[in-house]
């Protein structure tokens, strides 16, 4: 067996690469390396029998990708653009030791959500092509979102600003190895929450007195805000111990 830090004449196996990376990246797995290859971040050679053989350059490239994800939380699309710049000679790979580690900043939902956050925005009609361009996704990914029911066009075939944000968020989540089909769970959970809100506010909206509809809409906003706050708190509580399971 080739010792860690050494390279056999035919290159390193994926297991050897894993041994080299794990001291700095304990969470890296063979599946992660294969995923990064599938996304075009690395291109190891293949033996006639189909086994991957990694060079030192491949290993350093992986280290660059994992460092950018861990320290800067960059999406793979941005990292890939950086690597392409390096490949073209526009930029150079800096060693992980030479680059100071930057604190990660996560975009998370606030602890409390206001009912005003659910007020209807000014209606904006976004075409499919504009949505894909602004969200940074291709037609294949858009088709998957539509097929999964995560995004639904309006009657005229246009989309709204929320659809742009949803598409961008879904794409960012897939950079961690998730697939669109996995995101269906979030859609189903949202539908269940919306159903509960409708059960409570629906009867109010059917009242015959003046202002019944307005009171129901205000109730929906209040319940939606409370629901989102509760959901955020529950997720925060659940993920604290997720890595210890």
Encoded tokens for 97 = 């030791």
E-state strands within the chain: 45-46, 52-53
Question: pLDDT digit string (tens) for 149-185?
Answer: 999 998 888 998 889 989 999 998 888 888 899 999 9
Share of the chain above pLDDT 90, in %: 28
Mean pLDDT calculated for residue range 185-207: 87
Give me the pLDDT at residue 89, please: 75
CA atoms within 13 A on the CB side of 235: 12
Give me the pLDDT at residue 219, please: 84
* Contact call for residues 41 and 79 (beta carbons, < 8 A): yes
With 50 as the cut, is the pLDDT of residue 7 above it? no
Mean pLDDT of the chain: 80
Question: pLDDT digit string (tens) for 88-132?
Answer: 876 555 544 434 344 433 444 444 555 565 655 556 788 999 999
* Number of neighbouring beta carbons within 10 Å of residue 59: 19
Mean pLDDT calculated for residue range 12-31: 90
| Most trustworthy range by pLDDT among 181-185, 202-206, 236-240 | 181-185
């Amino acid at each position: 067996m080739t010792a860690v830090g050494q390279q056999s004449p035919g290159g390193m196996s994926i297991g050897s690469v894993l041994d080299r990376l794990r001291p700095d990246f304990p969470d890296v797995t063979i599946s992660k390396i294969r995923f990064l290859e599938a996304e075009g971040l690395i291109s190891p050679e293949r033996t006639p029998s189909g086994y991957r053989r990694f060079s030192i350059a491949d290993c350093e490239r992986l280290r660059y990708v994992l460092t950018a994800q861990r320290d800067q939380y960059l999406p793979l699309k941005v990292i890939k653009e950086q690597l392409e710049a390096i490949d073209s000679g526009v930029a150079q790979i800096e060693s992980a030791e030479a680059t100071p580690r930057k604190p990660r900043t996560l975009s998370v939902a606030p602890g409390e959500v206001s009912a005003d956050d659910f007020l209807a925005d000014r209606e904006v009609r976004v075409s499919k092509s504009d949505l894909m361009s602004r969200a940074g996704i291709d037609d294949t990914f858009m088709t998957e979102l539509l097929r999964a029911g995560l995004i639904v066009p309006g009657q005229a075939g246009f989309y709204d600003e929320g659809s742009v944000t949803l598409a961008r968020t879904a794409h960012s989540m897939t950079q961690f190895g998730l697939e669109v089909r996995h995101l269906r769970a979030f859609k189903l959970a949202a539908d269940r929450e919306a159903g509960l809100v409708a059960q409570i506010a629906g009867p109010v909206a059917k009242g015959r007195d003046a202002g019944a509809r307005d009171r129901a809409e205000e109730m929906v906003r209040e319940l939606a805000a409370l629901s989102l706050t509760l959901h955020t708190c529950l997720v925060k509580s659940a993920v604290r111990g997720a890595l210890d399971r």
